[in-house]
């Protein structure tokens, strides 16, 4: 699943590509991906200009002229493909191995712009969605998320207080909870906990305030590194400018089962925590 660094990269790049573009037409192959309905989405976006694109957690928010916003969530297997009037396709989101052209059998939604550009939405498992809302409804959407990792609202103390309310669960599950901190998924939860030297399966009630502080600091460090690297690339993933993110080459523990720990040379293990494949070092992480 694309996480905060990948979605942030896509947002930044799409702002360069899509801002100022007039939406001419919407083609729909899978109506179930549109909320509240195909008719409502068409009415809200066709004939409108994209003014700005923002991000909240893993959610992309398209500001349009008029009274509505378009929300896009890639979920587990969503992918955005930008086709300029001339030049190569630019892709961001989940990789679709073996698929190199659009539209294809996974292309469910397409926006046609007056300039001749197109925006395709591919989704193998069809968990992603587009939703239109009135601008006044945005605070309600935002209320479903915890603080952004680099916001003033996300402090050591606020993080510690959130942890104390979730003592029975594992720290990995807490980091995946979007109401605790927005934008972290499986990759960066594992990476952050490795950097903090905390085992993902550890119960929150057993953590000290110092442990919480280490995790808080690690979250910021890991996400900053990943954003600078333009996200994690594996298989065919490239960002919104067609460039591969380089964090995959720098990762500390995620996806490294059977390899040597970069700290202690012990073998990296993989287990299941919070229903997700989880990588850790049994020697470094206690």
From the candidates 3, 6, 8, 191, which is the catalytic residue? 3
**Dihedral sign computed on CA atoms, order 274, 279, 283, 285:** negative
Half-sphere exposure of 222 (CA within 13 A, CB side): 28
276 tagged catalytic: yes
From the candidates 25, 30, 35, 276, which is the catalytic residue? 276
199 tagged catalytic: no
Cα angle vertex 67, ends 61, 70, to 5°? 25
From the candidates 2, 5, 147, 149, which is the catalytic residue? 2
58 tagged catalytic: yes
Judge whether 226 and 188 are in contact, CB under 8 Å: yes
3 tagged catalytic: yes
Strands 34-35 and 129-134: parallel
From the candidates 56, 58, 118, 230, which is the catalytic residue? 58
Known catalytic residues? Answer: 2-3, 58, 276
């Amino acid at each position: 699943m694309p996480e905060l660094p990948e979605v942030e990269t896509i947002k930044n790049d799409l702002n360069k590509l899509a801002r100022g573009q007039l939406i001419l037409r919407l083609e729909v192959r899978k109506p179930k991906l549109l909320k509240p309905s195909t008719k409502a989405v068409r009415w809200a976006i066709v004939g409108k200009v994209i003014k700005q694109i923002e991000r909240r957690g893993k959610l992309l928010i398209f500001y349009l002229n008029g009274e509505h916003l378009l929300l896009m969530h890639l979920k587990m297997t969503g992918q955005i493909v930008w086709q300029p009037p001339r030049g190569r396709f630019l892709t961001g989101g989940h990789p679709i191995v073996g698929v190199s052209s659009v539209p294809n059998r996974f292309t469910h939604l397409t926006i046609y712009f007056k300039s001749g550009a197109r925006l395709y939405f591919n989704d193998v498992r069809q968990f992603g969605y587009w939703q239109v809302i009135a601008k006044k409804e945005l605070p309600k959407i935002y209320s479903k998320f915890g603080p952004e990792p680099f916001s003033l609202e996300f402090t050591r103390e606020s993080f510690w207080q959130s942890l104390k309310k979730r003592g029975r669960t594992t720290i990995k599950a807490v980091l995946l909870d979007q109401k605790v901190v927005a934008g972290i998924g499986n990759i960066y939860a594992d990476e952050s906990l490795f950097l903090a030297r905390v085992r993902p399966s550890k119960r929150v009630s057993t953590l000290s305030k110092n442990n919480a502080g280490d995790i808080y600091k690690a979250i910021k460090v890991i996400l900053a590194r990943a954003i600078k690297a333009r996200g994690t690339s594996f298989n065919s993933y490239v960002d919104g400018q067609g460039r591969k993110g380089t964090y995959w080459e720098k990762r500390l523990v995620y996806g490294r089962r059977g390899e040597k720990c970069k700290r202690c040379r012990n073998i990296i293990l993989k287990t299941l925590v919070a229903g997700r494949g989880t990588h850790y070092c049994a020697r470094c992480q206690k």
